[in-house]
């Protein structure tokens, strides 16, 4: 919350209040919507009446009256005053152009050891070769390893068999 303190210096305020009290006591008030000509006439009347005004109680205590004639004051409606809101300006920051970041292509992970193949992986690759019309090449490969079916192939031979399947065009 913002706290504001306002100090108003009005050295003739007491005299102005006395003049206002005299004017109100005499019934000399001016409606707020009178034309300018009527206001001038009212001011002249107020000045004449002020000269004939009785002694003010404040004057009896020794407070001097102002030499300026009393001015009529239009009634002022009470207007609520909201506290002033001070917005702090954000610091000016120039937009920074960001250069596009070139990302290096990610190299596929290089296996550090021999891949491990399962019977299912080799069977899928063999089925793809049969579908591609290479049944004879697959049978020759099985004969090379001395087996009639994949189920008879030694699991230690799966890696070599998978390499031979790749040489025939299988995806494994």
Alpha-carbon distance 88 to 86, whole Å?
6
Q: What is the radius of gyration, based on Cα positions, of the chain?
A: 54
**What is the extent of the structural domain holding 138?**
119-167
DSSP state of 147: -
Whether 65 is in a domain gets the answer no
Whether 72 is in a domain gets the answer no
Whether 88 is in a domain gets the answer no
Whether 29 is in a domain gets the answer yes
- Secondary structure of residue 23 in the 3-state scheme: helix
Alpha-carbon distance 87 to 9, whole Å?
28
- Our count of domains for the chain comes to 2
Q: Does pTM surpass 0.75? A: no
Contact 28, 45 (CB under 8 A): yes
Using 50, 70 and 90 to split pLDDT, how confident is the model at 143?
very high
H-run or E-run covering 49: helix 36-52
Q: Which long-range contacts (CB under 8 A, 24 or more apart) does 76-79 make?
A: none
pLDDT tens-digit series, residues 72-94: 555 555 555 555 555 555 555 55
Whether 90 is in a domain gets the answer no
Whether 3 is in a domain gets the answer no
Q: Count of CB atoms within 10 A of residue 161's CB? A: 21
């Amino acid at each position: 919350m913002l706290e504001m303190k306002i100090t108003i210096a009005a050295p003739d305020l007491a005299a102005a209040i006395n003049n206002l009290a005299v004017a109100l006591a005499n019934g000399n008030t001016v409606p707020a919507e009178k034309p300018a000509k009527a206001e001038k006439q009212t001011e002249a009347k107020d000045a004449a009446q002020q000269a004939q005004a009785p002694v003010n109680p404040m004057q009896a205590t020794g407070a001097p009256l102002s030499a300026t004639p009393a001015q009529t004051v239009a009634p002022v409606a009470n207007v609520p005053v909201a506290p002033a809101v001070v917005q702090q300006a954000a610091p000016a920051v120039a937009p920074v152009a960001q250069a596009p970041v070139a990302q290096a292509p990610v190299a596929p992970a290089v296996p550090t050891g021999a891949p491990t193949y399962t019977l299912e992986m080799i069977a899928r690759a063999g089925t793809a070769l049969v579908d591609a019309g290479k049944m004879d090449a697959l049978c020759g490969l099985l004969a090379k390893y001395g087996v009639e079916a994949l189920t008879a192939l030694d699991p230690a031979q799966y890696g070599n068999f998978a390499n031979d399947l790749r040489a025939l065009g299988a995806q494994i």
